[in-house]
Amino acid sequence: MDNTYYAHNEVIVSSKEGVQHKQGVDATEPIKIKGIFLIDAEPSPDTIAFQEFEGKKALTKEEKYQIFMEHVEKVAKNLGVPILFLDGESTMA
């Protein structure tokens, strides 16, 4: 993650092996969980608008954190993986 401050980092999540996400990139190998992460940010205006359109309320940063922490500590401990907080917003490309 060195030299990525203010960069657009990409997180790709796969749930099975053999998936090729991009041309020129090898397909996924057997899945190994290396960490559990939360994008730690207030909801974006787009997220708020979409949630309102769906008749829902976007969770605040604190609400997401509370729900995440209720469930993640035991899972991370059992798997022996770190809990990661990614500072920034998610986007859909």
Q: How many CB atoms lie within 10 A of CB 35?
A: 10
> What are the pLDDT digits (tens) for 34-50?
888 888 888 888 889 99
Each domain of the chain, given as residue ranges in start order, spans 1-93
pLDDT at 70: 92
Mean pLDDT, the chain, integer:
81
Q: Scanning the structure block, which residue is given the tokens 């401050």?
A: 5
pTM of this prediction?
A: 0.60
How far is the C-alpha of 70 from the C-alpha of 59, rounded, in Å? Answer: 15
26 pLDDT tier (thresholds 50, 70, 90): confident
